[in-house]
A = this chain, B = another copy of it.
């Protein structure tokens, strides 16, 4: 047995995005129960120069789809960042999961050594496929998904680590 690039990418990203979608359901229920306006949590942030909740979710989606698209040699899907409700944010997640699941495993497998160039902070960064996935993309997805979680937790939404991890 070995690990394939597909096993280490699509199922992991789909799992964390599904969990994020269910966490958003809990945020919605929290707002409904407490009479909190949705934009209050959509725009919440942990520090003035950090991205708000909505942007954390958008980046978690985009880091997933862009990594998988680049590994597979497909066009990176682009979605406009206009979500203003939890429902729209869940649709963004659904679209991302649908794209991830549409990519055939054979397009991802064997890309460990593929050369990939990323435009990171105005400067091109070169990666091998394996390094992109394990050193850049997955840490980014987890980083932004956890920060989204932490913003809700900081605002009193009753979620726990099990909501974040889901069923591995």
Contacts and interface: CB of A to CB of B under 8 A. Distances in A.
**Integer count of this chain's copies in the complex:** 2
Interface residues of A, number: 38
Given A139-B142, A147-B146, A161-B143, A154 B4 contact: no
Interface stretch (A30-38, A66-74, A130-138): A130-138
Contact of A46 (B130, B135, B136, B150): B150
Contacts of A164: 139, 143
Q: Summarize A's interface: helix, strand, loop or mixed.
A: helix
Contacts of A7: 130, 134
Contact of A16 (B5, B12, B139): B139
Contact of A2 (B12, B112, B135, B168): B112
Interface in A1-32: 1-5, 7-8, 12, 15-16
Given A150-B150, A161-B143, A168 B131 contact: yes
A149 B153 CA distance: 15
A106 B147 CA distance: 35
Closest 4 CB pairs of A and B: A135-B168, A142-B142, A146-B146, A2-B2
